[in-house]
Structure 1
Amino acid sequence: MADPAPRGPLAQHTHRLTAATRASNGTLRLAEIPFLTQLDIRLDPKGPAAGAVGLALDLHLPTQPNTVARAGHLTALWLGPDEWLLVAPPGGERHLERRIREAAGEEPVSVTDVSAQHTTLLVSGPRARDLLAHGCALDLHPRAFGPGRCARTRLGRTQAVLIARDTHRAGFWVLVRSSFATYLTDWLLDAATEYLRDA
């Protein structure tokens, strides 16, 4: 008998997210995107490893604070002067880690697989910014936090990484520790009540 498909941290709340999306009458879309590959990378941005890793991934690690670089299915988030989060489709952790380490060679580099520690919530739709603004201190106006921007922040009382997706209509990814994912889901659904016609 085949093993059952793995369930994301929010699998038991999928129906609630789907119901809220339906009740918003097109103004919100809420969903979990589980199992994304997430690698935390630490290296000297001015050292040879940075360029070598960029070439190996065909993706230059962003050096401007709170920005995102994308190439194909890879997304690199600036988290600090010498820290990035590489996000990719599920299942690519080992392959990507090997590529990074081989490219860095003898240069100091830290690659930590944090995929299992986090899950991702999609928040999109015309009311996405309004919903997130209920519990986020960032200025989420498109001029301040438009496509290509990311930031570590607090949403509700939860630490998260917020990513503005590649178009305004694509909304946001919210990367949150799996242990806080249910709390954040409850918070989002509560904050979304005013946008739901059946609330």
Structure 2
Amino acid sequence: MMQEHHPLVGRQLAAANAPVTIRPVENCARFNLRIDPANLAAASAVWGTALPATIGGLVWSGERLAACIGPDEWFLIAPLADRDAIETAFAELYATTIHSLVDVGHREVGIAVEGPAAADALQSSIAFEVGAMVVGEARRTIIDRVQIILLREAETRFRVEVWHSFSDHVWHLLAGICREYELGV
């Protein structure tokens, strides 16, 4: 069994009344699901709620989150305790529905970017208009040459999902941006 390690554990960047803060997101189960959209109802039944049908769609059900990040691709997030049950349920789906479910929990970590200046802070390193994202939208994009999945969870809260190998770089980039906002630069 692979040892689980979260490279951002113990890090926190939050000053009192700061316009933007970052913090690591608690470790969780993460999956990449590839399935023909015609079979989305079957995958939704296994997942436990309707998966978003359009690219950029983001839905929550309890502690589970699903983002459509491609024409036949979904990024799924759930509590670690649900990982085995999810794998088992999708394994049973193979009997009737062709799909691919890959556990990418070892590959990804999450960073929460929060505060009234969160969208502007992210905008400084992302090419598209971050502020135009609506709450409940997801995008695969690039931040300083690093691929991420950006989720808008609330008006002033985003979640950045990034590969472990790039998490330190993205963390320090965001920390520098937060510091500039804190100083009013």
TM-score, reference length from structure 1 = 0.84
SS at match of 1:115: coil
SS at match of 1:99: helix
Name which of 65, 70, 89 aligns with 2:55: 65
AA in 2 matched with 1:168: E
> Residue by residue, what CA displacement relative to the aligned partner does 1:92-129 show, whole Å, maximum 9, x if unpaired?
22211111232353321101000010100000101111
AA in 1 matched with 2:126: C
Q: Which residue pairs with 1:196 in the alignment?
A: 182
**Equivalent residues, number:** 183
Change (3 A) 1:198 1:147: closer
Q: Which residue pairs with 1:118 in the alignment?
A: 108
SS at match of 2:32: strand
Give unmatched runs, 5+ long, in structure 1.
1-5
AA in 1 matched with 2:38: K
Q: Would the aligned equivalents of 2:18 and 2:181 in 1 still touch at CA under 8 Å? A: no
AA in 2 matched with 1:78: C
AA in 1 matched with 2:84: R
Max radius of gyration: which structure?
A: 1
Root mean square deviation of aligned Cα: 2.1
Distance 2:149 2:128 in 1: 12
Q: Which residue pairs with 2:46 in the alignment?
A: 56
The answer to whether residue 130 in structure 2 is matched with residue 140 in structure 1 is yes
Give unmatched runs, 5+ long, in structure 2.
none
SS at match of 2:166: helix
Q: Which residue pairs with 2:8 in the alignment?
A: 10
SS at match of 1:107: coil
Q: CA deviation at 1:135?
A: 0.2
Q: Would the aligned equivalents of 1:35 and 1:116 in 2 still touch at CA under 8 Å? A: no
Distance 2:95 2:19 in 1: 48
> Residue by residue, what CA displacement relative to the aligned partner does 1:79-101 show, whole Å, maximum 9, x if unpaired?
11111011112232221111123
Name which of 16, 30, 41 aligns with 1:38: 30
> Residue by residue, what CA displacement relative to the aligned partner does 1:168-187 show, whole Å, maximum 9, x if unpaired?
13x00000000100011111
SS at match of 2:89: helix
SS at match of 2:80: coil
The answer to whether residue 164 in structure 2 is matched with residue 178 in structure 1 is yes
SS at match of 1:91: helix
Q: Which residue pairs with 1:22 in the alignment?
A: 15
**Aligned residue runs from structure 1 range 71-110, under 5 A:** 71-110=61-100
The answer to whether residue 161 in structure 2 is matched with residue 168 in structure 1 is no
Q: CA deviation at 1:159?
A: 0.8
